[in-house]
A and B are shown apart, each in its own frame.
Chain A
Amino acid sequence: MKLKIGIIDYGIGNWASIRNSLSKLGFKAIVSSDHDQLKESNLLLLPGVGAFKPAMASIKEKKLDSFIYKKLDQGIPIIGICLGMQLLGRSSMENEHTEGLNIISEDVFPLDQESCHIGWNSTKCLKKNSLLKKFENYDFYFNHSYAFLTNLENTICETSFKTKKFSSILLKDKVAGLQFHPEKSQFHGLDLLKNLIFDLCEYA
């Protein structure tokens, strides 16, 4: 049986590309903001292009916040990618202070005043994780200017940019946050995403 991935559509984003990538990996992927269409998903994916404030406004308007909390209570895993990872946090300072989903009780900060962190960079595991350790030597595609600080309780991997370090992978129970775009990181990104989905869904 194919695992069903529900891609949460909260407005702006290249959803077709993510859906097609997940299909290529052998998953059944749907993109929707409709609770009924998403409710049978084995895993929810919160993707990320855009700015924090309008994304959160759209999530609230579509009542996707309460839907996500309900699904988490039912043990459905969730992966947040890039902005999607940041939305899992308590708040962000992007443009102005905006409250997030507060699933990970940490705040999102600007990374660098001078430039965005765009391009390929590696991750360094700070905590033991046999799955993510395998990917430590590969580069992944980042495209962001805000991030969680490093050394948080749930930080598994960190990444360096100029003099700063930030959380590039967070894990908390069935919740994962990836600051990079695995779906846009070619072979190794897709491999990581596939294995992470199987891992979170405890799919042997």
Chain B
Amino acid sequence: MLKKRLIGVITVLDGMAVQSIGFKKYLPLGRPSILAKNLEKWGADEIFIQSIDRSRNHKGPDLELLKSIAKSSLSTPVIYGGGISSIEEGIKAIKTGCERISLDAFIHQNHTKIKDLSLKLGSQAIIASIPVVIKKEKLYWFDYRKEIFKDSFSKLKELVTNRYISEIFIIDKVNEGYQNSFQEKIINLFPMKNFPLILFGGITEKEQIKNFFNMENISSVAIGNSLNYKEHMIQNHKNQLIGSNIRDSFYDKSLI
């Protein structure tokens, strides 16, 4: 049976892994490749590296970072997001050091091109990263580049309907970096009900995770800060989630 995934998120700002609080305050954590190696050692099911300053500053994907990730010989699947705004950049990111890519700005800028990217990479390699906020009981899609809130999800719907993407990475923008605060209401308000979702932002507690893993369309829960600075947190979560259809806790002693 396909297992639910616990994804370790590494937030990168200017090449350095950081602890993020609401994408507003940042504290340095160290080199992303070291954090990735730790997440692997502790048994993360997937590693999501999000370079949050790349799109805004028109820098393209962080290929140097991906090279350093590839050099560290990870045997855990890596998703990369940040700065990808063309088909060529998407392919380059995969070739440099990740298995899947996550798109954000590209969807706002030129979503029709994602069809071509999907035809080259296969939809399984493409994730849509969607930061959302709730205002007056309505869900909005936040556009980082323009710092505006959009009430239409039509571009995303088109990608989902045509199966050009495989999963949606939903970010609770307001609660990212805070404990036990992901708003479940987001799932209810999200317009695509039967599509695999990865939840991120303010998920820290086993009861939260257990609850989300009981929902059929939630494929994964992604956790940032707390997995990175608390050793063995992944095993702790997994040990407490026995019976929630997750992969067993595993500690790779060969990587010590």
Q: How far is the CB of B232 from chain A (nearest CB, A)?
A: 16
Q: Which residue of A49, A95, A114 is within 8 Å of B99 (Cβ)?
A: A49
CA separation between A190 and B4, bound complex, in Å?
A: 22
Q: Check A120 against B5 for contact (C-beta < 8 Å).
A: yes
B76 in contact (CB, < 8 A): yes
Q: Smallest distance from the beta carbon of A132 to chain B beta carbons, Å?
A: 19
B175 part of interface (Cβ distance < 8 Å): no
Residues in A neighbouring B46, C-beta threshold 8 A = 119
A50 near B121 with CB under 8 A, answer yes
Q: Are B75's CB and A185's CB within 8 A?
A: yes
The answer to whether A116 and B166 touch across the interface, beta carbons within 8 angstroms, is: yes
Please, which residue of chain B has its CB at the minimum distance from the CB of A22?
B73
Residue A115 lies at the interface, judged by CB distance under 8 Å to chain B = yes
Partner of A17, one of B73, B195, B254: B73
Cβ B75 vs Cβ A183 within 8 A: yes
What is the CB-to-nearest-CB distance from B14 to chain A, in angstroms, rounded to a whole number?
Answer: 23
Q: Once bound together, how far apart are the Cα atoms of A185 and B40, in whole Å?
A: 10
* B195: contacting residue among A115, A161, A190, CB under 8 A: A115
Closest partner residue, chain A, to B75 (CB atom): A186
CB of A83 within 8 Å of the partner chain = yes
B4, B43, B99, B118: the one within 8 Å of A143 (CB): B99
Also in contact, A143 and B252, with CB within 8 A (given A17-B97, A115-B195, A116-B166): no
Residues of B within 8 A of A (CB): 1-5, 40, 43, 45-46, 67, 70-78, 91, 94-100, 118-125, 166-167, 194-196, 219-220, 247-248, 250, 252, 254
Give A contacts to B, CB under 8 Å: 12-17, 20-21, 23-24, 49-51, 53-54, 83, 94-95, 114-122, 139, 141-145, 160-162, 181, 183-187, 189-190
10 pairs of A and B residues whose beta carbons are closest in the complex: A20-B73, A16-B70, A116-B124, A116-B166, A120-B3, A184-B77, A51-B122, A120-B247, A139-B247, A24-B73
